[in-house]
Amino acid sequence: MIEVSSPLQATVWKIEVTPGEFVQADQVLVILESMKMEHLVLAPEAGRVTGVAVEETETVMPGDQLVRIDDAQAPDPEPGSPEAEAAIKERADLAAVVERHDRLTDARRPEAVAKRHQRGHRTARENLADLCDEATFVEYGGFAIAAQTGRRDVEDLIERTSNDSIITGIGHVNDEPAAVMIYDYSVLAGTQGYRTHLKMDRLLRLAHERRLPLVLFAEGGGGRPGDVDVPQVAGLDVPAFALMAQLSGRVPTVGVVSGYCFAGNAVLVGMADVVISTEDSNLGAGGPAMIEGGGLGQFAPTDIGPIDDQVDSGVADIRVADEAEATAVAKQYLSYFQGPIDDWTAPDQTALQAMVPENRKRTYDIRPVIDTLADVGSVLELRSGFGFGMVTALARVEGKPIGILANNPYHLGGAIDVDGADKAARFLTLCDAYGLPVLVLCDTPGIMVGPEAERAGTVRHAARLFVTTSNLSVPVGTIVARKGYGLGAQAMAGGGFKETDFTVAWPTGEFGGMNLEGAVKLGFSKELEAETDPVKRAELEAKLVAAAYDRGSALSMAQVFEIDSVIDPATSRDWIRTLTNHNSGWDWRQGPDRHSFIPTA
């Protein structure tokens, strides 16, 4: 039995319970009035009221008994029980809030959900539930409606434009906090309205201040001209685009494109470090209306930026089947910037010993080499359909994240062309911005040459690779798998073989200041011209070339200490470990910013 007493001298203003009534802990029993203020006397525990010892208007002193409760007769009701629901219904303000939250759920929007599913897409909230760890997401601005009260009924706006086309908030992705923006195409085609921008501005500022990674699902049609509640002409003073750009190099950002993504939505996703696009996505700086309005013709949305164009141009970093795969890849991508993992398995490293053919003219696939050097299942390749001469991938070695840059012998023999140089430079900047050590697998005859290469601007693009590699702050190590020739090899090794943390070669490594056949023709031109017999001249040239290859072997390079060592390929992870164990003292989450931006090229 519990006796509830008055805590002060007062007048009994109102008695809220009757004998026999069940009450919950903290439920109001009596309201006292003292010095013109109301004082609530609450039930200390749940139970049944067995008696009320006072009457209204009666004066009580401290310690006077007010109510008796039998705490053994009434347990707390389970959530969802009639008693709990009754408690909510008693508060009209709380009930209104609960109702509005409920109206945001997919369960209250069956037509919109069905329409999304018919098109083969998930709803924004289905993507959100898949992305964020369960029950970790807190939503900002869910009750926001389109700024259209001047032309539509408020109830209609609540029903059809809640969240104003974008879900914004903070949740946990892989057990780490992240900012999340997901455009809701079922609300006004995912267009950007007045309050859409207010919500984005709020979240982007939080992401910047709190150094939160950002995941953006960008599906939508760009700017919205129908918001009439605000005195706005062009809306070119909104800060969202600048705020998004300022995140580049400060926090990891990943954009997901599915369905139509045009204009402002496309520009936002284009500023992300990495773009993940589904097979049915269309991505363009302008949609059909903008194109037609510019007098450029009429096109269907599916004609603009289809997935093949995105991949070929390097706009899409990763191509996936659908939103489910896109979400999984987004989580995987962020994981590399969230630290090491304990659960990993190493492939059989002896397989590396036979991956580069003994025949120096025989090409091979570099991707199995990368997969074998990295932990099982840890490789995520970026921009595989662009800049074919370079392979760029995130991976793990002994559970620790690392970036891998490799020449691709299948394309121009591994020569560095314009697209390859741009792809490599951007990837290295990404790794440097967020503190990932870099492993370089070098197999290049050098920088691509010839009139066609120069028309593409090779000099500028290849030079940019030197500027990038020579200014990296993270540990870098180079393994020469086969060819290490000329300026191209130097560019792959931070500007020079002694500029990296290590430069080692496999037994198949071969080196030269330029291609050796050309070196012989230039360096021994007088000797070759002096031999008038064509057969003997060819024999002499072959002999000189063979001698040059012998002199440029990996062991010869190591003997004069132009490289650090020649290693058994099966021991490569021992050298890589020196990169991942290196404590650079850099953590992107602590700052300051490593780079002001990551170039989009």
Q: Is the pLDDT of residue 115 over 90?
A: yes
Q: For residue 80, with 0-12 CB atoms within 10 Å meaning exposed, 13-18 middle and 19 or more buried, which class applies?
A: exposed
Does residue 171 lie within any of the structural domains?
yes
Token pair 């593409």: residue: 456
Q: Is the pLDDT of residue 521 over 70?
A: no
Q: For residue 72, with 0-12 CB atoms within 10 Å meaning exposed, 13-18 middle and 19 or more buried, which class applies?
A: exposed
* H helix intervals, 434-523: 451-455, 458-470, 486-491, 516-523
Q: In this structure, are 169 and 296 located in the same domain?
A: yes
Closest CA to 183 of 124, 132, 114: 124
Q: Is the pLDDT of residue 76 over 60?
A: no
Measured distance CA(220)–CA(262) in Å, rounded: 6
Does residue 340 lie within any of the structural domains?
no
Residue 188 binned pLDDT confidence (cut-offs 50, 70, 90): confident
Q: Sign of torsion, CA 66 69 75 80?
A: negative
> Best-predicted range by mean pLDDT among 70-84, 138-152, 557-571?
557-571
Q: In this structure, are 41 and 83 located in the same domain?
A: yes
* H helix intervals, 415-457: 418-433, 451-455
Number of domains in the chain: 4
Flag the least confident range among 55-59, 96-100, 320-324. Answer: 96-100
pLDDT the model gives residue 531 = 66
What is the residue range of 442's domain? 349-509+553-580
pLDDT the model gives residue 512 = 82
Question: What average pLDDT does this structure show over 495-517?
Answer: 86
User: Could you read off the pLDDT of 364-403 as tens digits, one per residue?
Assistant: 999 999 999 999 999 999 999 999 999 999 999 999 999 9
Closest CA to 281 of 365, 212, 217: 217
Flag the least confident range among 17-21, 225-229, 278-282. Answer: 225-229
Q: In this structure, are 490 and 576 located in the same domain?
A: yes
Joined together, the tokens standing for residue 581 give: 């164990």
Residue 426 binned pLDDT confidence (cut-offs 50, 70, 90): very high
- Amino acid 99 reads E
Q: In this structure, are 159 and 267 located in the same domain?
A: yes
Residues of 323-345 as b/e, b for ≥16 C-beta within 10 angstroms? beebbebbbbbbbbbbeeeeebe
Specify the CATH number for the domain of residue 395: 3.90.226.10
* H helix intervals, 211-285: 240-247, 263-270
Flag the least confident range among 128-132, 287-291, 462-466. Answer: 287-291
Specify the CATH number for the domain of residue 72: 2.40.50.100
Q: In this structure, are 172 and 314 located in the same domain?
A: yes
Q: Is the pLDDT of residue 171 over 70?
A: yes
DSSP state of 474: S
CA 588, 314, 335 angle in degrees (round to 5)?
30
Q: Are 316 and 246 in contact (CB under 8 A)?
A: no
Joined together, the tokens standing for residue 425 give: 């430079």
pLDDT the model gives residue 538 = 72
Q: In this structure, are 502 and 426 located in the same domain?
A: yes
Residue 532 binned pLDDT confidence (cut-offs 50, 70, 90): confident
pLDDT the model gives residue 150 = 78
Query: The whole model's pTM is what?
Result: 0.82
Joined together, the tokens standing for residue 407 give: 């020449």
End position of a domain, from candidates 65, 90, 115: 90
Q: In this structure, are 417 and 472 located in the same domain?
A: yes
Q: In this structure, are 374 and 439 located in the same domain?
A: yes
Question: What average pLDDT does this structure show over 519-546?
Answer: 68
Mapped onto helix, strand or coil, the DSSP state of residue 590 is coil
What percent of the chain lies above the pLDDT cut of 70? 89
DSSP state of 354: G
Measured distance CA(422)–CA(125) in Å, rounded: 37
pLDDT, greater one: 449 or 77: 449
Q: In this structure, are 22 and 160 located in the same domain?
A: no
With residue 206 as reference, give the H or E element that holds it: helix 194-210
Measured distance CA(141)–CA(163) in Å, rounded: 6
CA distances from 207 to 179, 200, 210 (A): 6, 10, 5
Helices 458-470 and 418-433: crossing angle in degrees, nearest 10, is 20
Q: Are 9 and 62 in contact (CB under 8 A)?
A: yes
End position of a domain, from candidates 90, 118, 135: 90
Flag the least confident range among 291-305, 513-527, 566-580. Answer: 513-527
Does residue 560 lie within any of the structural domains?
yes
pLDDT the model gives residue 175 = 93
End position of a domain, from candidates 335, 369, 404: 335
In degrees rounded to 5, what are phi and psi of residue 549?
A: -65, -40
pLDDT the model gives residue 600 = 59
Does residue 445 lie within any of the structural domains?
yes
Does residue 503 lie within any of the structural domains?
yes
Does residue 313 lie within any of the structural domains?
yes
Q: In this structure, are 530 and 564 located in the same domain?
A: no
Joined together, the tokens standing for residue 293 give: 């309005």
Q: Sign of torsion, CA 307 313 315 320?
A: positive
Does residue 588 lie within any of the structural domains?
no
User: Could you read off the pLDDT of 116-135 as tens digits, one per residue?
Assistant: 999 999 999 999 999 998 88
Does residue 586 lie within any of the structural domains?
no
Q: Is the pLDDT of residue 255 over 70?
A: yes
Q: Is the pLDDT of residue 88 over 70?
A: no
Backbone Cα Rg of the chain: 34
Q: In this structure, are 385 and 307 located in the same domain?
A: no
pLDDT the model gives residue 85 = 64
User: Could you read off the pLDDT of 558-591 as tens digits, one per residue?
Assistant: 989 999 999 999 999 999 999 998 765 567 787 6
Q: In this structure, are 201 and 280 located in the same domain?
A: yes
Measured distance CA(371)–CA(379) in Å, rounded: 7
Joined together, the tokens standing for residue 318 give: 């990763």
Token pair 């999340």: residue: 180
Joined together, the tokens standing for residue 118 give: 């018919």
Measured distance CA(460)–CA(462) in Å, rounded: 6
Q: Is the pLDDT of residue 109 over 80?
A: yes
- Amino acid 218 reads A
Closest CA to 149 of 161, 138, 137, 140: 161
